[in-house]
Chains A and B, each alone.
Chain A
Amino acid sequence: MSDHAAHVPGLAHHFVNMEQQKEAGTIGMWLFLLTEIMFFGGLFLAYTIYRAKYPDGFLQGSHLLSVPLGGLNTVVLIVSSLTMAMAVYYSQLGERKKLLGFLALTLILGSVFLVVKYFEYAEKFQHHLFPAHWMYNPAADHPPTQYHGQVQVFLWIYFMMTGLHALHMIIGIGLLLVIMFMAHKGKFSKQYNSPVELFGLYWHFVDIVWIFLFPLLYLTGYHVGGGH
């Protein structure tokens, strides 16, 4: 077609200029993230309702989670958010090698998060704490209390919220691979780097969800029995 539309690499023909394209992309990404906030919001609402109804069960259920592993994953995600922010920085400067390096670091940290999460889940399955009724048997490893039913509700919410979060991490890693491939191909420049920035918004959003999940799920019952 006409070379008029094509003379700025990365600028789609229906936008007046790069600024307009970038603004449209940013707003579109935020609208998507708002739907994500409402998506997770329903689960945060379920958490709030059941915590109000079963305060004791939530304390005991939370006490079953590993604060060292949850804390480690919190730090891993914070560092990955920093490396992602630096990837955006170097994409804006058009430094392809550093962009690729920080994207790779982000990819590694995201993977570390999922590996830690895998070990946490596996430990719960081993101790009969996955809350499905045909598996859930806390009495096998823990002293019986009157709260096992309430703890089961807590564990459902734990698995739903961290599971949905982990799914977002897996999707994020998939997208990150696409962005890295595009960066490797030299698609990005000082003028055109929106995909990197918009993916960064997604990655930071997933970090923010964890910022709330960590205290609400792991730390709520930390003081039970006087800390550890």
Chain B
Amino acid sequence: MAEHTSEHHIVPLKYYFGVFALLMVFTVLTVWVAQFDLPGMWNIIVALTVACIKATAVVLIFMHVRWSSKLTQVIIIAGLFWLAILLIMTMGDYLVRGGWGVLGVQPN
């Protein structure tokens, strides 16, 4: 292994400019969409989708993870999995206990 870990890889500048353009366009997009009161939870869904796309572009290109070793990539995914445990399991617990007025459950 380690032949193609690309330690000497220099990311061409056009990738950086591409990510920069994507970040600017998506920033304008998310501000524009936020002016409208979308039905249901669509405001937050759009906002978080855009934020996740922007963050992924930064991680893959600006932070070179696309060209990083498999070990580095696995470590990052494990970390995000841990964050997901924190958010999903805690919220799952809160939301099913009732008293929150969300998910159709009326406060007691």
Contacts and interface: CB of A to CB of B under 8 A. Distances in A.
Interface string A130-170: 00000000000000000000000000000000000000000
A14 B103 CA distance: 56
Interface pairs A-B: 5 shortest CB-CB: A34-B79, A215-B47, A219-B34, A227-B35, A222-B34
B51 A212 contact: yes
Interface residues of B, number: 53
B75 A27 contact: yes
Given A19-B5, A30-B75, A82-B16, A219 B31 contact: yes
Interface in A32-50: 33-34, 37-38, 41-42, 44-45, 48-49
Contacts of B55: 208, 211-212
Interface stretch (A5-13, A84-92, A113-121, A173-181): A84-92
Given A212-B51, A212-B55, A220-B44, A34 B10 contact: no
B27 A74 contact: yes
A105 B17 CA distance: 16
Contacts, number: 141
A31 interface: yes
Main secondary structure of the interface of B (DSSP, over half): helix
Main secondary structure of the interface of A (DSSP, over half): helix
29 contacts: A19-B2, A19-B7, A30-B79, A31-B75, A34-B75, A34-B78, A34-B82, A41-B83, A49-B90, A49-B91, A52-B95, A79-B20, A81-B62, A82-B16, A85-B16, A86-B16, A89-B16, A92-B10, A214-B51, A215-B51, A216-B47, A219-B34, A219-B47, A220-B43, A220-B44, A222-B34, A223-B35, A223-B36, A227-B36
B37 to A, nearest CB: 4
B63 A222 contact: no
Contact of B69 (A23, A71, A78): A23
Contact of B37 (A19, A22, A207, A223): A223
Contacts of A41: 83, 86-87
Contacts of A208: 55, 58-59
A204 B10 CA distance: 17
B96 interface: no
A215 B55 CA distance: 13
Contact of B7 (A22, A93, A205): A22
Contact of B20 (A34, A48, A55, A78): A78
A204 B100 contact: no
A52 B58 contact: no
A97 interface: no
Given A82-B20, A85-B62, A220-B44, 15 more contacts: A22-B7, A27-B75, A30-B76, A41-B83, A45-B87, A52-B95, A84-B62, A85-B16, A86-B16, A207-B58, A214-B30, A215-B30, A216-B47, A223-B36, A223-B43
